[in-house]
Structure 1
């Protein structure tokens, strides 16, 4: 399978694709620091910067799966002041339409999108209806589910919406789903203070949920630490993507899709 990631961040989808043995053909990330990390980690992938200035038609007919966690700033529940939750009408989350352009230009068999769970509710649900309409207009069916990091064993919840769009020529069997390897249950976990950090346990070993701060000067200890924490904070959980990819691969192999 040949894969492209958009809004790539530090490469969560790319890492999951690598676990699958897929080829990471290209990634697209606006922020320079994250793009540098991607170039180091995935040196054989084409590196794109600004999605608005990138032509994806060069990959038409050459890509099996396209992924992207399009920006969530205008859909996050944390956005309660100022202009509020503009959803797809916002400057950042509105980049979903560039995501659609990339899909239409490259025409993959499968698309996996990720965003905050609140995208289901912004603008009274009209945003998500628009998302489904845009995909349908391009010839894609879709299924979606709110997935939690704790459902794949992580010691935190981090509920996120995942959507799998697939060509309308693909017909899933009754009761089949691309989310079959993600369990609809969460693992209980407890926490306790540990210096300037926290320790978390799922009933076994205690682990630090983040590295402790050594020194602080006007916030984080240094710029690099700030960039790293920002990258991890925006990242998807690769294990969730991996389990979705596994189901896609099985269905792809069983149906001999070309």
Structure 2
């Protein structure tokens, strides 16, 4: 049943997500991409997919064929740390709501959303939570995580936020793919065999039929001050910098030595080696993004080639995510109604414990920072709080509701001493510890205690008892 799963793709671009899902055994039956400059590339590489070229703002649920899932990455420029970060004040940022609208109208079994790391920074985190709560209210359990492509055998550091949701009625459990870790894929392994010189362009029309390598073209435009403010060279034995969508910001080829430091905001090319400094070609960028060599990009201006490649989700990462979604759907099982969720968390000292009981409130870091709690939006809320410190363990009942987002200043007014910026706050029903039949707190083992006892997590009463 699962091998025939069908998906619809939004903001498809050249189809990096789509290719990864196809490689995982899905059928991409329909895709939407408004940019005319991309249409030929998409249709050539995805000949069995129906390409809709309409503006997403005009689409209705009836325009989309029945399918199992939606995949797509709304425009990232509104949230990118390298841009103006206008968020919802930018029309492109508002397209996020159009994607959510279609999810609500069509109700696929699952959806996947990809975006840049900037969408979870302090400036945009409240908006990000609004997106999650809107999806939860539409009937989905929503999980999110920040993934680095390098951890999945992709030869570049590329941090992106992924949101995955499943219909609540499916009652399935989703886990993001576990990082594969070292050894990382180096530039030598990724592009070391491309030894031919690339074809150089600035604004002239690109010659599409030429040479051994498809799209082995480079942009020869000038280097601006912002680009020269940092080293842009990674060595052959390293992973690449993030492949960018703007040609002028493309990383430099590893044949060159690393740029020389002059001051905090100035680097220069090493004297005598200036001829070695060039941008990676479109094909080399595609290799680093894990596109196969027969994946062909069509463009008249070389900058459009970089844009298509740089905006794409690496197909290899998309495949890992697609397989994790498939595993979650495969393992659907009916959960027992008596299962109760527990927030297992650490308290630093007696003072923090006293403040927690006095205010009937416990807080944990929000976001994706170290020590932050990941709360799949739409999951059954925890109704117990298990606080631990060394051998001390206390169990409290908490009000089963989505935790309130609080600032550090708000918590300090209550007598707490937080060190971060934003937190999720859970309310205790009572400051009195409780007991549960069948649970011996002294025998409960805390997950990860030997590695990092400060990281909170949510589990079930049954799992704590069985441990």
Q: Specify the TM-score bucket, using the shorter chain as the normaliser.
A: 0.7 to 0.9
Counterpart in the other structure of 1:66: 70
Give the structure with the higher percent helix: 1
CA deviation string 1:156-190 (max 9, x = no partner): 111000110111113345xxx331x3317465576
Counterpart in the other structure of 1:240: 317
Counterpart in the other structure of 2:213: none
Shift of 1:208: 7.3
Please tell me whether residue 183 in structure 1 is matched to residue 179 in structure 2: yes
Counterpart in the other structure of 2:258: none
One of 44, 49, 58 as aligned partner of 1:53: 58
Moved more, 89-98 or 118-127: 118-127
Change (3 A) 1:208 1:156: farther
One of 21, 24, 39 as aligned partner of 1:20: 24
Q: Helix, strand or coil for the counterpart of 2:123?
A: helix
Q: Distance in 1 between matches of 2:126 and 2:194?
A: 36
Counterpart in the other structure of 1:207: 192
Q: Distance in 2 between matches of 1:63 and 1:210?
A: 44
Change (3 A) 1:63 1:210: farther
Change (3 A) 1:223 1:137: same
How many residues are treated as equivalent by the alignment?
237
Counterpart in the other structure of 2:92: 92
Counterpart in the other structure of 2:142: 142
CA deviation string 1:235-254 (max 9, x = no partner): 10111121111122122223
Q: Distance in 1 between matches of 2:301 and 2:333?
A: 46
Change (3 A) 1:240 1:72: same
- 1:101-112 to 2 correspondence within 5 Å? 101-112=101-112
Counterpart in the other structure of 1:196: none
CA deviation string 1:65-109 (max 9, x = no partner): 101110010100111xxxx31223321122101101221222101
Q: Distance in 2 between matches of 1:205 and 1:26?
A: 31
Counterpart in the other structure of 1:159: 159
In structure 2, stretches of 5+ residues that fail to align are: 204-217, 221-298, 335-467
Q: Distance in 2 between matches of 1:224 and 1:217?
A: 8
Q: Distance in 1 between matches of 2:190 and 2:328?
A: 36
Q: Distance in 1 between matches of 2:160 and 2:112?
A: 13
Shift of 1:214: 2.9
Which has more radius of gyration? 2
Contact 2:79 2:124 in 1 (8 A): no
Please tell me whether residue 251 in structure 1 is matched to residue 328 in structure 2: yes
Change (3 A) 1:207 1:96: same
Counterpart in the other structure of 1:193: none
Contact 2:154 2:184 in 1 (8 A): no
Change (3 A) 1:136 1:56: same
CA deviation string 1:110-161 (max 9, x = no partner): 0000000110126351111111111012111111111111011122111000
Contact 2:155 2:190 in 1 (8 A): no
TM-score when normalising by structure 1? 0.81
Q: Distance in 2 between matches of 1:104 and 1:183?
A: 31
Q: Distance in 1 between matches of 2:191 and 2:43?
A: 34
Contact 1:164 1:178 in 2 (8 A): no
Moved more, 204-213 or 24-33: 204-213
Counterpart in the other structure of 1:113: 113
